[in-house]
Chains A and B, each alone.
Chain A
């Protein structure tokens, strides 16, 4: 049963799945409490043109992809706020228009780059093809993201529960909001190469949704979501080998399956109790 992990390729994939699953799982607790999965979906798609343009300008590399993706996310975020203020159209609508436009632009730029820049790997990821530098970068960003969210968890939770009460208690809520979203962007960018910009959203939303029916405090939600994210991603990778399916798709499908099982278990548990 442990045959796939005898292979170097899968060992590397397993390490990546555990790291990326853990980081995304931890961040998913914030996304669930903030109720922002749709905003993140938009954000993850808008990273693509940043990566494409950076590749076009300086060639494909971890750092250039990272910088391009972050720039695109910031640009789309700022444009959304500005257009929402100017047009009185709500920011969800503007974000939807901008992200589909950005996503389309990204596909067009990538298709111009030729066959050596594999479009599928950016859309659907390639967790088995991550380099040492990719893994180190994921690990570094993961430590920073989890450490910051952990250190400021009290502020984060009060702010998510009631921002005005948080402000009255002396919490700098606007700064906290910007910092939290900056962390989510970092997490998304490091996930991009592993599972692609479409499937990344599953990783950063599903783990907390799986845990949520069984917990009653935010303090439990964060660490348990991280463990479920890591475990679910490793399970997805394992299944991908045995079912001969793409790894990224298998991870996202496994997390979705675990979510349905969690909801069913909760329903059964409620009937019994």
Chain B
């Protein structure tokens, strides 16, 4: 299960929407086993970077390499988890079917859903403690349960990298703790976790590393070092002034 040696390398990544520069000069290296927080004010480029990593956008400049090869060649190893309320409402689908979607990169449209696919799906359901609610409709679940379902889909996909967009948004305290524990367990088992995050007070508790963006890379490194840097405090202060003295 462990893929600790697998490395993600970004070099001079740049993206713009029309004439508007969304992201530039992003360069970093991270690897499986780490939990990387993407921080920055609204419009800083966090979601753009996640979408670039998920293959939903192509960079205008720079390279994104995974295991020393272009990231695009390893699509099935990268799982994208949008915010919990991103999917279509009232869609008639059970938790088990959503988790099974993770097998699509392995079986496509035409191959049969075999025993191995069923086993991977059930294993992911068991790891995320979804057994009791596996036959419930996805819209009957709380935000925290939905996040666990989507993480299970990533596990069924056998993804090495999990890209999460604001995963803690809208969760109650208990769900936040459960999700935080899940992310810790996943990185311990060799997954690379990359998540955009707004709750600055919890960055060092949840994440090992942090990347601060403000349409360009402001800082990158171990979370405890990044969060105490003056330039980072200044950048993040603009979006969280009340946290300036208390949390940073």
Known contacts A158-B104, A167-B55; is-contact A212 B92 (Cβ 8 Å): yes
The prevalent SS among residues of A at the interface is helix
A160-B88 in contact (CB<8A):
yes
| Interchain CA distance A129-B105 in the complex, whole Å | 48
| Interchain CA distance A157-B110 in the complex, whole Å | 14
Asked if A164 lies at the interface with its beta carbon under 8 angstroms from chain B, I say yes
Please provide the chain B residues from 68 to 87 with a CB less than 8 Å away from any CB of chain A in the complex: 75-76, 78-80, 82, 86-87
Give the total of B residues in contact with A, Cβ under 8 Å: 28
Query: Which residues from chain B contact A170 at a C-beta distance below 8 Å?
Result: 75-76, 104-105
Query: Which residues from chain A contact B92 at a C-beta distance below 8 Å?
Result: 33, 212, 215-218, 221
A161-B105 in contact (CB<8A):
no
Asked if B21 lies at the interface with its beta carbon under 8 angstroms from chain A, I say no
Query: Which residues from chain B contact A157 at a C-beta distance below 8 Å?
Result: 93
Asked if B232 lies at the interface with its beta carbon under 8 angstroms from chain A, I say no
A161-B91 in contact (CB<8A):
yes
Stretch at the interface among A5-13, A148-156, A180-188, A257-265: A148-156
User: Can you name the residue of chain A whose Cβ is closest to the Cβ of B100?
Assistant: A154
Query: Which residues from chain A contact B104 at a C-beta distance below 8 Å?
Result: 154-155, 158, 169-171
User: Can you name the residue of chain A whose Cβ is closest to the Cβ of B55?
Assistant: A168
Closest beta carbon of chain A to B195's beta carbon, Å: 15
Binary flags per residue of B27-58, CB closer than 8 Å to A gives 1, else 0: 00000000000000000000000000011100
B88-A162 in contact (CB<8A):
yes
Asked if B137 lies at the interface with its beta carbon under 8 angstroms from chain A, I say yes
Binary flags per residue of A215-259, CB closer than 8 Å to B gives 1, else 0: 111110100000000000000000000000000000000000000
Binary flags per residue of A25-38, CB closer than 8 Å to B gives 1, else 0: 00000000101000
A169-B101 in contact (CB<8A):
yes
Query: Which residues from chain A contact B78 at a C-beta distance below 8 Å?
Result: 168
User: Can you name the residue of chain B whose Cβ is closest to the Cβ of A214?
Assistant: B92
Q: Which of B54, B97, B109 contacts A217 (CB 8 A)?
A: B97
| Interchain CA distance A160-B56 in the complex, whole Å | 17
A-B CB contact pairs (8 Å), 12 listed = A35-B88, A152-B109, A161-B88, A161-B91, A161-B93, A164-B56, A164-B86, A168-B56, A169-B101, A170-B76, A216-B92, A219-B97
* Chain B residues at the A interface, C-beta cutoff of 8 Å: 54-56, 75-76, 78-80, 82, 86-88, 91-94, 97-98, 101, 104-105, 107-110, 135, 137, 157
Known: A33-B92, A161-B88, A165-B80. 16 other contacts (CB 8 A): A33-B88, A153-B109, A155-B109, A157-B93, A158-B104, A160-B88, A162-B87, A164-B56, A167-B55, A168-B56, A169-B104, A169-B157, A170-B76, A170-B105, A217-B97, A218-B93
